[in-house]
């Protein structure tokens, strides 16, 4: 039992809410955030609540509001809502503390720690963001939360890094998605921790445990039809979703799986059997199980992970146990379905006799071991690129928000009203003023 308790439970959730702000989530989140609490009962005789919960959102609110940086109210509301629901449905009503929250345009991440297990040992909390849209804007990009848990294995403990991302859309743009990931690795940089002897900026891989999730937008790319087969590709993909055996065959056409096997993206990360649940995109709004025929069904919403005890020589195997990995079909407000995973971390490596004599700042937390051919390097222009993108976000966001405001919620009407108002002002300005002649005495 003691060894089980040493293995931290981490719950990850991700959901693209389709730009709906406060209307994007139902009031009761039990279907999304609670099932894994009961699944975890196999670990012991009693159900066990997660030690860490990380929830990511994409398309959090209307794009013009996100670009203008007007997301604080939505994020605060989500924080209260999520924490209330987690605590209400936890097996013993365990309480949680917000470790950090971060948002960039429509990508948001909230991380929580369980009060009676590790919350008091969390330190060196950091947040970061980066954009990989046009000119580094934040309509696509990633946000990250990084922190250290003291006295786990050694006095220095372990570093946890959570990254929520939203990559380029559309099936033909696989190369852009791969480029987005590489940009995130090079520009989502964290400052050195107080306990670190290395004072250089750290990439997301400079961590003991890494969790990368979100709307990664990789699609199911079906092979060309055989001669004489006139059936549309999206219909063929839908027909393969009915049972797990067919979905397991369909997974071989998943762009992410293929690019990962080729060493092009998400190097060193692992994933659970995503084919055990149906594709999470693209659904008809308001429907539980009907896909929109404009897109081929795809597993766009994913959760991947790595830990420092994983070996590059076994790329398919992780020492993190994937207890549960599933989607939630009952959510119908978005064209995506939310995804949730419960991950059981390996026990910490025991401290050596030499390490136990050192103070907390003398030690060094363990970090991931990557394939020898892959060496992630920080972009020296990362800060400049991020703030160029943010400046453009704000300029475009404020203009767009203004036009939407004067158009009573419609940007098109706002543009029309603006030009009508400008024309009226020009007419008034150029109209000569008629002065009445003075009366003759």
With vertex at residue 44, the alpha carbon angle to CA 43 and CA 45, rounded to the nearest 5 degrees, is 140
**How far from chain centre, in Å, is Cα 391?**
22
Rounded CA-CA distance 96/292 in Å is 38
Residue 3 predicted with pLDDT over 50:
no
Q: Which is more confidently placed, 148 or 431?
A: 148
- Of 77-91, 246-260, 324-338, 412-426, the poorest mean pLDDT is in 412-426
Q: What is the mean pLDDT of residues 289-297?
A: 89
Q: What does the block give as tokens for 110? A: 């909230």
Q: In the predicted model, what is the mean pLDDT of the chain?
A: 87
Quick one: tokens of 81?
Answer: 């809502």
Distance between CA atoms of 86 and 52, rounded to whole angstroms? 11
Q: Which two tokens stand for residue 440?
A: 């003759």
* Interval 339-345 mean pLDDT: 95
For residue 229, pLDDT over 50 is answered with yes
218-227 pLDDT, tens digit per residue, is 999 988 766 6
Out of 4-18, 35-49, 118-132, 305-319, least confident range? 35-49
Residue 172 has pLDDT above 60, yes or no: yes
Mean pLDDT along residues 180-191: 98
Whole-number pLDDT of residue 359: 47
Contacts (Cβ under 8 Å, ≥6 apart) of 440:
none
The answer to whether 137 touches 184, Cβ cutoff 8 Å, is: no
The answer to which of 44-53, 285-294, 357-366, 368-377 has the lowest mean pLDDT is 357-366
Q: What's the pLDDT at 358?
A: 43
> What pLDDT shows up at residue 317?
94
C-alpha dihedral (377, 381, 383, 389), degrees to nearest 10: -110
- Least confident interval from 13-22, 171-180, 204-213, 333-342: 13-22
For residue 324, what pLDDT is reported?
92
Residue 308 tokens, joined:
């420092």
């Amino acid at each position: 039992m003691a060894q089980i308790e040493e293995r931290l439970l981490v719950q990850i959730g991700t959901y693209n809410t389709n730009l709906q702000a406060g209307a994007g989530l139902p009031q009761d989140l039990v279907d999304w955030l609670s099932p894994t609490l009961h699944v975890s009962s196999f670990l012991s005789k009693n159900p066990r609540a997660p030690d860490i919960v990380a929830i990511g959102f994409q398309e959090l609110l209307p794009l013009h509001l996100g670009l203008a940086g007007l997301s604080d109210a939505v994020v605060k509301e989500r924080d209260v809502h999520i924490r209330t629901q987690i605590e209400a449905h936890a097996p013993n009503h365990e309480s949680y503390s917000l470790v950090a929250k971060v948002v960039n345009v429509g990508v948001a991440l909230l991380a929580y720690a369980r009060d009676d297990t590790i919350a008091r040992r969390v330190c060196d909390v950091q947040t970061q963001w980066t954009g990989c849209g046009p000119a580094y804007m934040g309509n696509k990009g990633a946000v990250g939360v990084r922190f250290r848990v003291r006295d786990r294995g050694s006095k220095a403990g372990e570093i946890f890094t959570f990254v929520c991302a939203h990559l380029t859309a559309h099936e033909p743009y696989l190369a852009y998605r791969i480029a987005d990931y590489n940009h995130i690795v090079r520009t989502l940089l964290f400052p050195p921790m107080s306990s670190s002897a290395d004072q250089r900026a750290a990439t997301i891989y400079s961590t003991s445990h890494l969790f990368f999730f979100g709307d990664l937008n990789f699609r199911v790319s079906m092979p060309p039809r055989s001669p004489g087969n006139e059936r549309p590709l999206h219909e063929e993909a839908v027909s393969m979703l009915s049972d797990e055996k067919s979905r397991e065959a369909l997974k071989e056409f998943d762009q992410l799986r293929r690019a990962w096997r080729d060493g092009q993206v998400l190097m060193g990360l692992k994933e659970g059997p995503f084919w055990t649940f149906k594709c999470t995109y693209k659904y008809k709004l308001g429907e539980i199980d009907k896909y929109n025929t404009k897109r081929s069904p795809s597993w766009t919403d994913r959760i991947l992970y790595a830990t420092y005890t994983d070996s590059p020589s076994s790329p398919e195997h992780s020492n993190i146990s994937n207890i549960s990995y599933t989607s939630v079909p009952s959510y119908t407000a978005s064209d995506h379905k939310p995804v949730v995973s419960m991950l059981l971390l390996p026990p910490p490596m025991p401290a050596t006799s030499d390490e136990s004599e050192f103070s907390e700042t003398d030690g060094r937390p363990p970090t991931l071991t990557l394939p020898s051919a892959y060496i992630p390097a920080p972009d020296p222009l990362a800060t400049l690129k991020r703030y160029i993108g943010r400046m453009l976000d704000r300029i475009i966001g404020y203009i767009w928000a203004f036009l939407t405001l004067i158009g009573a919620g419609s940007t098109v009407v706002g543009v029309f009203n603006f030009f009508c108002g400008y024309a009226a002002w020009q007419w008034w300005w150029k109209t000569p003023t008629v002065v009445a002649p003075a009366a003759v005495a």
